[in-house]
Structure 1
Amino acid sequence: MRKLFLLIAVISLLASCGRGDQGQLVGVQGKKWHPEKPLGMTLIPGGAFIMGKSDDDRVGLNNAPPKTVTVRSFYMDETEITNSEYRQFVNWVRDSVVRMKLAIFAEEMGETPGSGGIGEYAFADTEEENMSVYEKYMYDNYYSMGGYEGRKLNKNVDIIWDTRDYPDEYYAEVMDTMYIPIEEVYNGQRSIDVKHLKFRYSWMDIQEAARAEPGKRAEFIKTEEIAIYPDTTVWIKDFNYSYNEPMHNDYFWHDAYGDYPVVGVSWKQARAFAQWRTLYHNTYRKERGKHNVPAYRLPTEAEWEYAARGGLESASYPWGGPYTKNDRGCFMANFKPLRGDYAADQALYTVEAQSYEPNDYGLYNMAGNVSEWVFSSYDPGSYEYSSSMNPSVNDDANMKKVVRGGSWKDVAYFLQVSSRDYEYADTARSYIGFRTVQDYLGTDVTLNQTR
């Protein structure tokens, strides 16, 4: 009995030494978190500001009464999302759709990687010997029961776009479905049918879940499927009796406009882009064993106005104001100046996203160029009932979403940092774009204290 007691004591001592905590409460030791500034973003230090009109509401909207609010720190895109950046999203969705179609058809035809041709694009779980224990478990318990949701695509083989190099008839048949019908082809150019380019994602309505009675988590998970290609016809539909065909034909896809802000994107498409950007970034980090980063998202109305002010209290514009010209007589933004002379500011339509001088937070074109979607729903009285701490008003039933900043076709009033406007969530315009934000985690950073 004595020997058994001594043995237990020795084991206990060894276990304690192995922990290294000497039996004290030290907390769970996880990975060290090192805040990283996302590429193309700048850190906006949290703080308080007076949100709303600091002078008379000249158009009598009466929907922006001054209110002191506080926002937490966040990262924000230095520029509006450009055509080039949005094309990266479009190309990723296009490639994913093609790979899924190829994998499904390969399975239906019984083709596997060993058979060559379309078989090289079969699902990665087709060959059991190459699956991990977890992948095999998921396949046996979920994926093998029908459907293709969650199946792993084979991304180790390149998609073949040149019709002269198609490996077999099955491959050609799948690719044929991705292009516009032959009868719609003109000028010898058969382009991708953009109706196939849809991005599907799920998200959890945490606000609704937190206020509801305890229930199943699945009740608050929502799935969206969004056609993500910009509506290039906005350049025609927004302007009656106006010749804008060159912008319709070339603005989104031509490299000449790569650094210009993307337009023709609805609020829903802008949200889908933010979801994809999160997925894309975290997939890369997961492969390297790193922490996930906070989700990219659209800014709230309060965050947008706070960032646009650049730390200037009661200013009319991001550069201060009250004038739209500097001391050399040059316009400070791209808008509709004077008596409607679009070219007076040296730009007829949009300008490159990194044009004019940035505000004191390093943000470009927070006034003019393109108006920007924010997450918030438009309600004239929202300032009256919204919280003064990180205010955010978004009602899924309210399709009116706030746009801020004014655009290349707006007069100076709409360039003011406190001016509000709205558009419907499923509507795209030739003068509305967006930029994204990401929450800042870790050591607190405010205007009063930076550590």
Structure 2
Amino acid sequence: MKIKLFYLVVLASALAGCSTRSYRTGRVKASHDKTLEGPPGMVYVPSGSVLIGQPELDSSFTDSSTFKKVSLSAFYMDKTEVSNKQYRQFVNWVRDSIAVTAYIKDKSFFLPNKNGDSIANINWRKITDGKAIWKSTNNNIREKLRGMYYTGKAKRTGANEINVALLNYNYEYLNPDYTEKNGNVERVIREPINVYPDTTVWARDFPNSQNSQMTESYFSNPVYDDYPVVGVSWKQARAFAAWRTKIWRKYVHTLLSPKLIQLQIDLPTEAQWAYAATEQIGIIDTTKKVRNKSKTTLPIANYKQEEGDYTEDGAVYTAPVTSYAPNKFGLYNMAGNVAEWTMNYYTLSATAFISDLNPVLTYNAKENDAPEMKKKVVMGGCWKDIRFFVKPTTRTFEFQDAPKSYIGFRCVMPAPEILISEKTRTRN
């Protein structure tokens, strides 16, 4: 795959402009070390502390736990929410990999096996030639690919005729039950994840609503390239992050940031997300609007202003990922637009179980687990939410296997400390 394609993959973003009533951060400065570049599209978030917990809307939203102050190490975070264009690269990579390895099976599409490895590597430079596969005039290739297309009336709306049920990525993660003493348990779990977004969420989330354009076009039409991807489950988001880690390590890391150790890209923890969202630029309360130099009043986030009013902020549905102003860290849409998946398992008493240092509460629920075990923390609010849910103080949940038209995600990667405070400077 051409290197320029990978530059696009690593972009993602978020905006800020919300209340910090419960999530309060220590005083820090955003920093950019010119000698240590993170993954393209990510910005450096220095270490700091934040008070986490759950605010009240009414008694039904009151958390049974107390608030807790926690400290976080530095990390890199996507500047924007992951866009349709970026996620589509993942889908296309899976599609092309399956096409070459399971259908075409032609040695000319693989790199020479110089080390005697049992696994052959795809020659992505040849695959990215526009006429190599899907526009090939070679009848042999066209015939072999026929099995990847829908037949008859089985075509799924917005899928461009490829049978998206075939687009499975082998997502790998560490088995939480693994120990060195337990030889009967696999260290790594491999799970096939279908990567294509659920484009029917627009109709399912809003019954008796005219959303056929969004269902048919939102993910596949280039018009929506720069809009946040939705219809992605928690596991699909984590699979994207795992794939992106491989791309970063294999192609981008050695070219751009050889100083960085090869760390894992993943979803942010709840604490990381809350901390990154609280450093606002100028305006704090989403009840207000920003006045620019010409004294024109501008919206600061994409959310529902009041019942039935989706248009006041300039967008009926989602907005492009770089809409509105970024926060102090340079993060876009940390308030509104789409809500975002985090790593954390959701429970009201979370603060009773977490550490005060880089906290996270995780559980990778299995398909047959109880629904209660599949809850994941969702942060940031979205284009259809009222103001309360858009504040970074508010934590809500969704089930990990339930994609929505209003939930997207962004990624993070651990970072070394590159901001030296006055407290740590050596005296002369």
Please give the TM-score of this superposition, normalised by the length of structure 1: 0.75
For 1:326, the aligned partner's letter is: V
Question: Which of 337, 353, 378 lines up with 1:385 in the alignment?
Answer: 353
Cα deviations across residues 31-56 of structure 1 (Å, max 9, x unaligned)? xxx63222111111111121235x65
Instruction: Please tell me whether residue 221 in structure 1 is matched to residue 192 in structure 2.
Output: no
Moved more, 249-258 or 368-377: 249-258
Instruction: Give the Cα–Cα distance (whole angstroms) in 2 for the partners of residues 322 and 172 of structure 1.
Output: 54
Q: Kindly tell me: are residues 373 and 446 of structure 1, through their superposed partners in 2, closer, same or farther at Cα, counting changes over 3 Å? A: farther
Cα deviations across residues 62-116 of structure 1 (Å, max 9, x unaligned)? 2274211101100101110001111111111111111112454x5xxxxxx5xxx
Q: For residues 46-85 of structure 1, what are the structure 2 equivalents within 5 Å? A: 46-53=47-54, 56-58=56-58, 60-63=60-63, 65-85=66-86
Question: Which of 307, 314, 322 lines up with 1:346 in the alignment?
Answer: 314
Instruction: Give the Cα–Cα distance (whole angstroms) in 2 for the partners of residues 182 and 427 of structure 1.
Output: 29
Question: Which of 164, 170, 192 lines up with 1:194 in the alignment?
Answer: 164
Please give the TM-score of this superposition, normalised by the length of structure 2: 0.79
Q: Which residue of 2 aligns with 1:309?
A: 278
Instruction: Please tell me whether residue 161 in structure 1 is matched to residue 134 in structure 2.
Output: yes
Question: Which of 130, 140, 145 lines up with 1:175 in the alignment?
Answer: 145
Q: Kindly tell me: are residues 154 and 355 of structure 1, through their superposed partners in 2, closer, same or farther at Cα, counting changes over 3 Å? A: closer
Q: Does the Cα contact within 8 Å between 1:73 and 1:446 map onto a contact in 2?
A: no
Instruction: Give the Cα–Cα distance (whole angstroms) in 2 for the partners of residues 449 and 42 of structure 1.
Output: 23
> Shift of the alpha carbon at 1:238?
0.5
For 1:223, the aligned partner's letter is: R
> Shift of the alpha carbon at 1:155?
4.0
> Shift of the alpha carbon at 1:226?
0.5
Q: Which residue of 1 aligns with 2:88?
A: 87
Q: Which residue of 2 aligns with 1:268?
A: 235
Cα deviations across residues 109-145 of structure 1 (Å, max 9, x unaligned)? xxxx5xxxxxx34x55xxxxx532xx32x43xxxxxx
Instruction: Give the Cα–Cα distance (whole angstroms) in 2 for the partners of residues 450 and 176 of structure 1.
Output: 65
Q: Which residue of 1 aligns with 2:3?
A: none
Instruction: Please tell me whether residue 295 in structure 1 is matched to residue 264 in structure 2.
Output: yes
> Shift of the alpha carbon at 1:152?
3.1
Instruction: Give the Cα–Cα distance (whole angstroms) in 2 for the partners of residues 437 and 75 of structure 1.
Output: 5
Q: Kindly tell me: are residues 185 and 69 of structure 1, through their superposed partners in 2, closer, same or farther at Cα, counting changes over 3 Å? A: closer
Q: Kindly tell me: are residues 199 and 326 of structure 1, through their superposed partners in 2, closer, same or farther at Cα, counting changes over 3 Å? A: same
Q: Kindly tell me: are residues 445 and 364 of structure 1, through their superposed partners in 2, closer, same or farther at Cα, counting changes over 3 Å? A: farther
Instruction: Give the Cα–Cα distance (whole angstroms) in 2 for the partners of residues 199 and 447 of structure 1.
Output: 47
Instruction: Give the Cα–Cα distance (whole angstroms) in 1 for the partners of residues 156 and 377 of structure 2.
Output: 39
Instruction: Give the Cα–Cα distance (whole angstroms) in 2 for the partners of residues 384 and 287 of structure 1.
Output: 41
Q: For residues 378-417 of structure 1, what are the structure 2 equivalents within 5 Å? A: 378-397=346-365, 398-417=373-392
Instruction: Give the Cα–Cα distance (whole angstroms) in 2 for the partners of residues 448 and 255 of structure 1.
Output: 50
Q: Which residue of 1 aligns with 2:329?
A: 361
Cα deviations across residues 398-449 of structure 1 (Å, max 9, x unaligned)? 2111111000000000011111111111111000000000100364667977
Q: For residues 20-35 of structure 1, what are the structure 2 equivalents within 5 Å? A: 35=36
Cα deviations across residues 230-255 of structure 1 (Å, max 9, x unaligned)? 11100111111011000111111111
For 1:92, the aligned partner's letter is: W
Q: Does the Cα contact within 8 Å between 1:198 and 1:228 map onto a contact in 2?
A: yes
Instruction: Give the Cα–Cα distance (whole angstroms) in 2 for the partners of residues 277 and 88 of structure 1.
Output: 10
The DSSP-based 3-state class of the residue aligned with 1:351 is coil
Q: Does the Cα contact within 8 Å between 2:74 and 2:414 map onto a contact in 1?
A: yes
Q: Does the Cα contact within 8 Å between 2:113 and 2:120 map onto a contact in 1?
A: no
Instruction: Give the Cα–Cα distance (whole angstroms) in 2 for the partners of residues 215 and 178 of structure 1.
Output: 41
How many residue pairs get aligned? The number is: 373
Q: Which residue of 2 aligns with 1:230?
A: 197
Instruction: Please tell me whether residue 151 in structure 1 is matched to residue 120 in structure 2.
Output: yes
Q: Which residue of 2 aligns with 1:325?
A: 289
The DSSP-based 3-state class of the residue aligned with 1:296 is coil
Instruction: Please tell me whether residue 371 in structure 1 is matched to residue 365 in structure 2.
Output: no
> Shift of the alpha carbon at 1:375?
0.6
Instruction: Give the Cα–Cα distance (whole angstroms) in 2 for the partners of residues 198 and 222 of structure 1.
Output: 15
Moved more, 434-443 or 243-252: 434-443
For 1:97, the aligned partner's letter is: I
The DSSP-based 3-state class of the residue aligned with 1:160 is coil
Q: Which residue of 2 aligns with 1:420?
A: 395
Cα deviations across residues 1-21 of structure 1 (Å, max 9, x unaligned)? xxxxxxxxxxxxxxxxxxxxx
Q: Kindly tell me: are residues 186 and 387 of structure 1, through their superposed partners in 2, closer, same or farther at Cα, counting changes over 3 Å? A: closer
For 1:47, the aligned partner's letter is: G
The DSSP-based 3-state class of the residue aligned with 2:344 is strand
For 2:401, the aligned partner's letter is: D
Question: Which of structures 1 and 2 has the larger relative contact order (alpha carbons within 8 angstroms, sep 6+)?
Answer: 2
Moved more, 438-447 or 192-201: 438-447
Instruction: Give the Cα–Cα distance (whole angstroms) in 2 for the partners of residues 217 and 37 of structure 1.
Output: 38
Instruction: Give the Cα–Cα distance (whole angstroms) in 2 for the partners of residues 311 and 182 of structure 1.
Output: 53
Greater per-residue helix proportion = 1
Report runs of 4+ in structure 1 exceeding 4 Å deviation.
285-292, 442-451
Q: Which residue of 2 aligns with 1:20?
A: none
Cα deviations across residues 147-175 of structure 1 (Å, max 9, x unaligned)? xxx33334453433226x02x43x23321
Instruction: Give the Cα–Cα distance (whole angstroms) in 2 for the partners of residues 369 and 263 of structure 1.
Output: 11
Segments of 5+ residues of structure 1 without an aligned counterpart are: 1-33, 107-112, 114-119, 125-129, 140-149, 313-317
> What's the % identity of the aligned pairs?
37
The DSSP-based 3-state class of the residue aligned with 1:201 is strand
Q: Does the Cα contact within 8 Å between 2:324 and 2:333 map onto a contact in 1?
A: yes
The DSSP-based 3-state class of the residue aligned with 1:375 is strand
> Over alpha carbons, which structure has the higher Rg?
1
> Shift of the alpha carbon at 1:190?
6.4
For 1:386, the aligned partner's letter is: I
Q: Kindly tell me: are residues 56 and 377 of structure 1, through their superposed partners in 2, closer, same or farther at Cα, counting changes over 3 Å? A: closer
